[in-house]
Amino acid sequence: MNDPSARLAQLRARVVELARAQDPYAHIFAGKEFRRDFVAGRTMVWSTLFGDIRDTTTRVLEIGSKEGRSALFWLEFFARAHLTCIDLFREDDAGRFDRNLAAYGPRLRKMVGTSIKALGSLREENAVFDFIYIDGSHQRDDVMIDCLGAWRLLREGGVMLMDDYTWMPDSPDAERVAPAVDTFLAWHGDAEVILKSHQVAVRKRSA
């Protein structure tokens, strides 16, 4: 096979397959409908990193839910939590999200539309969260808005996790996540970094 992108896709599929085979949380996703897997290989890191906040996390916000794979993990891992999911929920994802999450009705709020709009509504409601996962738009300016808007909703001591920090390193800055996360970290001395890898996690320091 000489086509590098086909080779890359094949390698990625193999990595996902291996990660799934070893995933102790695989049962969460069994029997659900997915076309993509943005979670394989992450559940072990998440469960280790967030084990200490598992019982105290009751209010979770997710920006970028797609078909609901990460949402399912948060609902199962943080078993006492209510989850708010923000996404454009484009037509081909919306049905799968609804079917995959159907069993969690009372513990779930779905906000359809752009994150900038939803974050504004949550701010007006004085919503507060213990844990926030940012995995929406990957455009620098959108990520900046998501980080800043979400940070205002995070309680002191709460944790915010941002995906795709190392995504597309050769793309222009405006099309990458990293410049926004780096700027957010430079502006926010109250963000204590607890993970910096393909994902970045921060804990909000007390004032």
Q: Out of 43, 46, 61, 66, point to the residue binding ligand SAM (CB under 6 A).
A: 66
Give the total of residues touching ligand SAM (CB under 6 A): 19
Distances (CA, A) of 84 to 13, 60, 70, 198: 30, 6, 12, 24
Taking Cα atoms as reference points, which of 76, 11, 79, 38 lies closest to residue 161? 38
Give the separation between CA 99 and CA 66, rounded to whole angstroms. Answer: 12
Site map for ligand SAM, 14-53, x if CB under 6 A? Answer: ------------------------xx--------------
- 83 sits near ligand SAM (criterion: CB under 6 A): no
- 86 sits near ligand SAM (criterion: CB under 6 A): yes
- 64 sits near ligand SAM (criterion: CB under 6 A): yes
The arrangement of strands across the sheet holding 108-112 comes to: 108-112, 82-87, 59-63, 129-134, 154-162, 200-204, 191-196
Give the separation between CA 126 and CA 141, rounded to whole angstroms. Answer: 24
- 112 sits near ligand SAM (criterion: CB under 6 A): no
What part of residues 122-161 is at the interface with ligand SAM (CB under 6 A)? 135-137, 142
Match 């926010």 to its residue by tokens.
188
| Residue 2 CB, nearest approach to ligand SAM (Å) | 29
By the criterion CB under 6 A, which residues form the site for ligand SAM?
Answer: 38-39, 64-67, 69-70, 86-88, 90, 93, 114-115, 135-137, 142
